[in-house]
Amino acid sequence: MKVRRKKFIWLTIITIILVISALLYSSLFGLPWKKVSVSKDLISYLDERYKEEFNVKKMIYNFKDGKYGIIVSPLQNQEIEFHATQGYGQYLYVDNYPERTWEYEMKRDFETEVKKVFPDLIYFGVSTVQGESLDQVKEARFPTYRETDSLLSASVRMNKTFDDTEEIWEQIYAFSKVVQENVKNGEVLIFFDPTGEDGQVFISCEIKNNVLVNKEEIRNICEVTEFPKGN
């Protein structure tokens, strides 16, 4: 009887441990069957919303809000990756396909010109606020980066000291002009990040079609922020 009782106690303990482990795993990583189910629903949503085919690269679960989703790419361009997830409020599902497309295409179209302006840059990228395109998709079409009213930020980083010279401001003006001529609501961000004793400098310039940008006033529409070394 004592042996059976010990076995029962150990089996009970093991069962409790397994149940707790399963609950902990599902709370952190989600339920495998639910990931598959939601993934299928999201692909159907994307196919209907954009009238094109997509490839699921990864099924995901956000333990912070308990929502399931996928990382996905359009079959016609696997270089674009975006998220589609369970939604909120009036949105059953949400995605950032337009935003990632704007970022990808704007970087592709601007990169050669930007490298001419800043031959010593070490990084060039484009970003936008995610989620603003939810109401911009009409009949399976969304606006291009040239058409959208969403804010698009073009940024460069250089491993050099910021010298407040005419040459530097000529470069900033040329960069700003490229953005202004191609987007309705944009900004340029320039990071000077030297490796020596000098501190970092961050320059942000808000560029809109209704703002006349010229070489004389470019300094006035840009904000310069200095970060001394060690801060």
> pLDDT digit string (tens) for 25-61?
455 555 788 888 999 999 999 999 999 999 999 999 8
Mapped onto helix, strand or coil, the DSSP state of residue 180 is helix
Instruction: Please state at what angle helix 166-180 crosses helix 97-117, rounded to 10 degrees.
Output: 140
- Distance CA(97)–CA(53), nearest Å, equals 13
The chain-wide mean pLDDT, for the chain, equals 86
103 three-class SS: helix
What is the structure's pLDDT at 27?
56
User: Is-contact 179 188, C-beta < 8 A?
Assistant: yes
Q: Output DSSP code: residue 44.
A: H
Q: What pLDDT, on a 0 to 100 scale, did the predictor assign at position 217?
A: 80
Instruction: Evaluate if residue 109 carries a pLDDT over 70.
Output: yes
Nearest alpha-carbon partner for 188 in 170, 162, 208: 208
Judged against a pLDDT cut of 70, whether residue 12 lies above it is answered with: no
**Residue 210: its pLDDT value, please?**
54
Burial class of residue 203 (count of CB atoms within 10 Å of its CB; 0-12, 13-18, 19+)? buried
Which residues in 75-134 belong to E strands, given as ranges? 82-86, 93-95, 121-128
pLDDT of residue 53: 95
Contacts with 174 (C-beta within 8 Å, 6 or more apart), sequence order: 117
30-95 has which CATH code? 3.10.450
pLDDT at res. 219: 87
Please report, rounded to a whole number, the percentage of residues in the chain having pLDDT higher than 90: 57
Q: What is the pLDDT at residue 51?
A: 94
Amino acid identity of residue 196, one-letter, is G
Range scoring the smallest mean pLDDT among 22-31, 67-76, 161-170, 183-192: 22-31
Q: Please state the rounded mean pLDDT for residues 2-23.
A: 61
Helix (H, G, I), strand (E, B) or coil at 190: strand
Return the closest-CA partner of residue 150 out of 108, 208, 84: 208
Going by C-alpha positions, the residue among 51, 97, 48 that lies closest to residue 72 is 97
**Angle in degrees, CA 111, 117, 119, rounded to 5:** 85
Side-chain-facing half-sphere of 107: CA atoms under 13 Å: 17
* CA distances for 201 relative to 153, 158, 167, angstroms: 17, 10, 16
- Could you give the CA distance from residue 191 to residue 186 in angstroms, rounded to a whole number? 17
The residues spanned by each domain of the chain are: 30-95, 98-227
Whether pLDDT at 171 is above 90: yes
Q: Which residue has the higher pLDDT, 67 or 32?
A: 67
Residue 205 has pLDDT above 60, yes or no: yes
